Structures are given as C-alpha cells and as structure tokens.
Amino acid sequence: MGPIRGSKKKRKIDSENGLASGSSEDGSNDWWSEFSKRIVGSLSPSKGLDQFESVFKVSRKTFNYICSLVNEPMTSKTSNFMYLNGQSMSLNDQVALALRRLSSGDSLIGVGNFFGTNHSTVSQVTWRFVEAIEERGLHHLQWPTTEEEFTQIKSKFENIRGLPNCCGAIDTSHIMMLLSASDRTIDVWLDRKDNHSMMLQVIVDPDMRFRDVVTGYPGKMDDASVLQKSSFHDLSEKGERLNGKKLKLPEGTEIREYIVGDSGFPLLPWLLTPYQGRDLPETKTEFNKRHFATKLVAQRALARLKDVWRVIHGVMWRPDKNRLPRVILACCILHNIMIDMEDDALDELTLTNQHDSGYRPEFCDMADTNASISRDKLALYLSGRLAV
C-alpha cells in the first residue's frame, strides 16, 4: 500500500447524534460498570485521570461519539468476536479493545490478557476499527475550506508571536519499527540513524489539529523529499492551495498565505523557514524567534500524538508495513477527534515538544529567490524597519 494522505472532506460533529445506537451516556456507564469488574485487577489509574480515561485515554463523551462513528461499519460484517469464556463482544467492547491497543502500545498478547481474549482477536478487532475510523472519521482531518476558518487560523497563529497570514506549521517524525532479519525489504526502511522507520509528515493548525497528513515513506527520506512527493506540495506550487488573501506590506510587497517549517524544508513562497547561520542581524534574529514560537505547535502536536497513541511511540515489533500507514492515519484522526470533542482528558496531558528523540535537525539549502526577498521584507516589517 502506498503513502497515505489526509482527506479534504468537511468536518462536522452532530452533537445530537453523538452516541451509538443503544449506547447512551447512561448505557455507557452501565457498560463500564460491568466491564471494569472484569479488569479491575489490571487497572492502575494515571494521576489526575479517572479509571475510564486511564484505560482508554479518552473521556466517556468521546468514547460514546467514537462508538457512534464506527457503529455501522463495525457491526455490518458478520464476524462474531468472542472472549475466552465464549461471551460475544459488544460494539463497546470492540471499540474499547481497539482504543486500548492503540493507546497503551502493549503487545497483542498483553492486550489480549487484559481483556480476556486471544491475540488474534485483538489484531482483527483493531484492524476493523482502524478501517472504520478511516471510513467514517476522515471529515475530522481536512484542510480548511472557508474564509472564516482561515481568518480564525491566521488570527490564532498571529497571536502566538506576531507572524501574520500564517496558515499552518509543518513537521515530520519517525515511526520506529523492529523488522525481521529475513524481511527482504529491510534495507529500504533503514534511516540515517541506522533505525528502521517510516516517515510521518503533518501540517498543523494553532489548536494542534492535524490539517494534512502524509505517511508511508521510508525513514531514510529527508524532510524536503517527503514534502516534494506530497499532494500538498503540488497543489501549493500550482497555486491551488495557500491561495487566499495576501498580506500587503506598507511599501507594497505582497506576502501570500504560507506555512512555517524548520530548516530541513526548502524556503518557498508558501513555506517560510528560519534564517540559518550565526551572528545574524537583529531583524533576522527576531524573525527566527517568532518563527520558532509559531512552529512549536507542530512539534507539540506530534509529541501529544505519540504520547497518547503509544502504539506509534516506541519501536513497533514486526509491523505490517502495508497496514501501518493506515494505523498512523487512524491515530491522527483520533487525535483530532479529541480536540474537536474538547475532551477533558487533554487537560491532564503535559505539553512537550520532544517527539523524535535521537534525530538531529536537517538542513536544506534549497531557497526560492522570491521567497528569500519576501522573508527579508517580512522580517523588516516585523521589526518596524521597513521603509514606506
């Protein structure tokens, strides 16, 4: 399976229909009351979280919404998943099992023991859930489509550190894999740190919501190469993306909509990177400070993604590389759902920007001439030194 990209479908949550059929808030509480009795010996609540959030990493409200989202695709197939005692798994059971697998990062056997089922059931249920969340949840991961959305996004980014007309922050991360020595494709996935990994590229809004996702490429590829293979790059180069209102500076220069990225990306008219080098003049140093503070939102989003959905946090043991991109995408969708649902569990998370430990920053020397001029003008404008 090739690289995966996020959808452009409209995001909308129907709060009136935010619960699965037959799965009201009270029904969910009843289900949890019975379910928790079976696993109570395995529970170890995290600080600040109740037992439910500790086990599944989402609130009951979000859990109910997810159940409603995947209800039809998960129940339309005839497979009857069972516990070891012969009891059939309900929809809530299946969603709970999949969320536990994705959020704990525990092995198939570990999750199976936790739930009282075998590892093959854990694998099958999780994959069905991944397919269902991709089928029904892609509207949670989309590029903004209305002027109102862009206005809000630009305003929030500008409030961070003053960068005007910014529409997103881009970053990449490595998803680590432990592959079998007999895997014939093993060398393809060997990256510059001698790890086997898969790349994840995201573009994030100021609320740490993923707006564009690309994954599936080998970790040996650098940031610029992954970007150039993405549809976002092609659309932006054609002027079909980041083509909204331009910022007109006092002396007449126009700054188009743009995203910000680190020095591993090329400097382009629609992608602003920091100035490189030491002993920079004050205007460029100040621009870099603003740029760094704005770009930090992407690093924090990736750190939160890996912290909550820990199946992609550590080293995955012999993953199915054809299915892994879809597992990653499902985790990104779930990340966005928690934001869209204003999930209380997010309040307990510690913000960090560490998501790619051991990988040193990359440097790309590709720079568009017009982009260099625009960046210089913007730096002068932000420092108040742009001549009118």
What mean pLDDT is predicted for residues 359-381? Answer: 94
CA dihedral 262, 268, 269, 274 (to 10 degrees): 30
Confidence class of residue 370 from pLDDT cuts 50, 70 and 90?
very high
49: pLDDT strictly greater than 60: no
41: pLDDT strictly greater than 80: no
What distance in Å separates the CA atoms of residue 126 and residue 101, rounded to the nearest whole number? 7
161: pLDDT strictly greater than 90: yes
The answer to whether 340 touches 58, Cβ cutoff 8 Å, is no
Q: Residue 115 is encoded by which pair of tokens?
A: 């739930």
Confidence class of residue 365 from pLDDT cuts 50, 70 and 90?
very high
Q: Residue 281 is encoded by which pair of tokens?
A: 């003049």
The answer to whether 215 touches 328, Cβ cutoff 8 Å, is yes
Confidence class of residue 37 from pLDDT cuts 50, 70 and 90?
confident
What distance in Å separates the CA atoms of residue 113 and residue 75, rounded to the nearest whole number? 24
Burial 329-341 (b: 16+ CB within 10 A, else e): bbbbbbbbbbbbb
Query: Per mean pLDDT, which range of 29-38, 71-80, 225-234, 305-314 is the poorest?
Result: 29-38
Nearest to 156 by CA among 203, 202, 208: 208
Nearest to 308 by CA among 358, 357, 343: 343
* Most distant CA atoms of the chain, gap in Å: 78
pLDDT, tens digit, for every residue of 254-270?
999 999 999 999 999 99
How much is the mean pLDDT over the chain?
89
Confidence class of residue 376 from pLDDT cuts 50, 70 and 90?
very high
Q: Give percent above pLDDT 70 in the chain.
A: 89
Burial (CB count within 10 angstroms: exposed 0-12, middle 13-18, buried 19+), residue 53: buried
Q: Which residue has the tokens 């199915």?
A: 320
